[in-house]
Amino acid sequence: MDSSLNTLCVDIGGTGVKLIVVDGKGLQLCDRQRAKTPQPGTPEAIISVIEELSGLVPEFDRIAVGFPGVVHEGIIGTAANLDINWPGTDLADELFQRLNKPVRVANDADVQGYGCVRGKGVEMVLTLGTGMGSALFVDGRLVPNLELAHHLFKKGKTYEDYVGRPALETVGTQKWIKRVKRVIETTKRVWNWDLMHLGGGNTKLLRDVQFPEQIQLHSNTAGVLGGYFLWQTD
């Protein structure tokens, strides 16, 4: 890869759209820019937000996007926490038409994982935000589009029902933390991961929790910066 290229890293979420520019070594060139996710979060509305925010940052040569749903070759498959018109949208092409830069798009948890994983053994990523994202890596290689969030977890509730933001607002922080621990324990029994990475905006509520060393917390900014690594992979 060309180490002279700057990358616009975009993280689309159910409540916020964030972006930042990094240089050819993955170092930040500016502060993170953020705007609230439009309601409704239609493709046109969110693409317009990205276009607007991109004018507030240094020049860039390429774009990496983390999207909260299944993505196949830049085309959106699912978008549970956004508008119903997303499936079938070629987000990579739409952004290329607007910003005239090459674009790579992947699931947001997959993108965050690229920036977190060590590349050895089985590593799982859970992102805790509006919903719940998930990713799985084996020796640094991604198993793409692991949509664990929408599988049934307990008493007819999905993983996302159990630990998404609406659940947090309903049951309160302490009970939500217990739920997160239960989810972590369940994933360990199923996938036997060696390392668990926790990211997303609500991870800040876990900072004072004493986790074993094989469970690591990552800042919300990591989800944006992970876009750099999307351009370092095939």
Q: Are residues 167 and 106 in the same domain?
A: no
Residue count (the chain): 234
Q: Are residues 77 and 151 in the same domain?
A: no
Q: Are residues 137 and 160 in the same domain?
A: yes
Distance between CA atoms of residues 231 and 234, nearest Å: 8
pLDDT band at 77 (very low <50, low <70, confident <90, very high): very high
165: which 2 tokens? 């933001």
Q: Are residues 73 and 165 in the same domain?
A: no
Residue range 145-172: average pLDDT? 92
Q: Are residues 144 and 188 in the same domain?
A: yes
Residue 57 domain boundaries: 7-110+224-230
Q: Are residues 51 and 106 in the same domain?
A: yes
- Please name which of 89, 81, 84, 94 lies closest in space to residue 50, comparing C-alpha atoms: 94
Torsion of CA 11, 127, 123, 176, to 10 degrees: 170
Q: Is residue 34 part of a domain?
A: yes
Q: Are residues 164 and 93 in the same domain?
A: no
Residue range 80-103: average pLDDT? 96
For 17-63, write each residue's pLDDT tens digit.
Answer: 999 999 999 999 999 999 999 999 999 999 999 999 999 999 999 99
Q: Are residues 196 and 105 in the same domain?
A: no
- Please give the mean pLDDT across all residues of the chain: 93
Distance between CA atoms of residues 120 and 177, nearest Å: 28
What pLDDT is recorded for position 198?
A: 96
Q: Is residue 1 part of a domain?
A: no
pTM over 0.85: yes
Residue range 127-144: average pLDDT? 92
96: which 2 tokens? 């290329």
- Is 67 within 8 Å of 58 (Cβ atoms)? no
Q: Are residues 179 and 206 in the same domain?
A: yes
Q: Is residue 2 part of a domain?
A: no
Q: How many CB atoms lie within 10 A of CB 130?
A: 22
What pLDDT is recorded for position 1?
A: 52
pLDDT band at 147 (very low <50, low <70, confident <90, very high): confident
What pLDDT is recorded for position 2?
A: 59
Domain count, the chain: 2
- Is 17 within 8 Å of 32 (Cβ atoms)? no
Distance between CA atoms of residues 142 and 136, nearest Å: 6
For 169-228, write each residue's pLDDT tens digit.
Answer: 999 999 999 999 999 999 999 999 999 999 988 999 999 999 999 999 998 777 677 889
What pLDDT is recorded for position 207?
A: 93
- Report the percentage of the chain scoring pLDDT > 90: 81
Q: Are residues 83 and 138 in the same domain?
A: no
Which CATH number covers residue 140?
3.30.420.40
Distance between CA atoms of residues 183 and 197, nearest Å: 13
Distance between CA atoms of residues 39 and 79, nearest Å: 14
Q: Are residues 101 and 161 in the same domain?
A: no
What pLDDT is recorded for position 4?
A: 85
Q: Is residue 100 part of a domain?
A: yes
Q: Are residues 124 and 171 in the same domain?
A: yes
70, HSE (Cβ side, Cα atoms, 13 Å): 12
Q: Is residue 151 part of a domain?
A: yes
